[in-house]
Amino acid sequence: MDVQEVRKLDAYLKRLFGNAKIRVVPRPKVADSAEVYIDDDQIGVLSVDDEDGDRSFQFVMAVREQDRTSKHAMDVQEVGKLDAHLKRVFGTPKIRVVPRPKKDDSAEVYIGQDFVGVLFVDDEDDDRSFQFQMAILEDDLIEQG
């Protein structure tokens, strides 16, 4: 990830989430990834995906479960808590977590009407957490008007 890509990713995430406090910081010894911060808190990692010859980026953010509401399935109460958590972390009321039809192990994440990613349940070793995953295409990094 070069300096220009880091700048574009930084601008894109600020624009997408409407939060000027988001920062993308290169990792000194890992050329294909960067860390994402809001203020001084690291919230996730961006990595390069060069598969299939198309360059894109993957943003991944871990979300630890605060209050256990169900063992495996993601229920309506949990979706509401995740929605509130993402609104708080990203500082935007426009973000929405929506249950997925016919799936109870994940939920979709939108900003306004635009789909941005998926929240997956991670029940490994009975230590429940969630993972927000968002793909960023090179075309997404083109400055909009």
Provide the 8-state DSSP code for 72: S
80 and 120 housed in the same domain: yes
71 and 28 housed in the same domain: no
Which of the four pLDDT bands, split at 50, 70 and 90, describes residue 68? very low
Q: Number of structural domains, the chain?
A: 2
46 and 87 housed in the same domain: no
55 and 93 housed in the same domain: no
Please tell me the pTM assigned to this model.
Answer: 0.87
User: What range does the domain containing 100 cover?
Assistant: 63-128
Helical residues (DSSP H) of 21-116, grouped into ranges: 76-90
pLDDT tens-digit series, residues 114-131: 999 999 988 776 677 899
56 and 67 housed in the same domain: no
Q: Say if strands 106-111 and 30-38 run parallel, antiparallel, or are unpaired.
A: unpaired
17 and 73 housed in the same domain: no
9 and 36 housed in the same domain: yes
35 and 72 housed in the same domain: no
Please compute the mean of the pLDDT values over residues 40-53 and round it to a whole number: 90
57 and 67 housed in the same domain: no
CB under 8 Å, gap of 24 or more: what pairs does 28-33 form?
Answer: 31/1, 32/1, 33/1
48 and 71 housed in the same domain: no
Which of the four pLDDT bands, split at 50, 70 and 90, describes residue 145? very low
56 and 69 housed in the same domain: no
82 and 67 housed in the same domain: yes
pLDDT tens-digit series, residues 74-112: 788 889 999 999 999 999 999 999 998 888 889 999 999
Question: What is residue 67's predicted lDDT score, i.e. its pLDDT?
Answer: 47
Question: What is residue 87's predicted lDDT score, i.e. its pLDDT?
Answer: 96
Question: What is residue 114's predicted lDDT score, i.e. its pLDDT?
Answer: 95
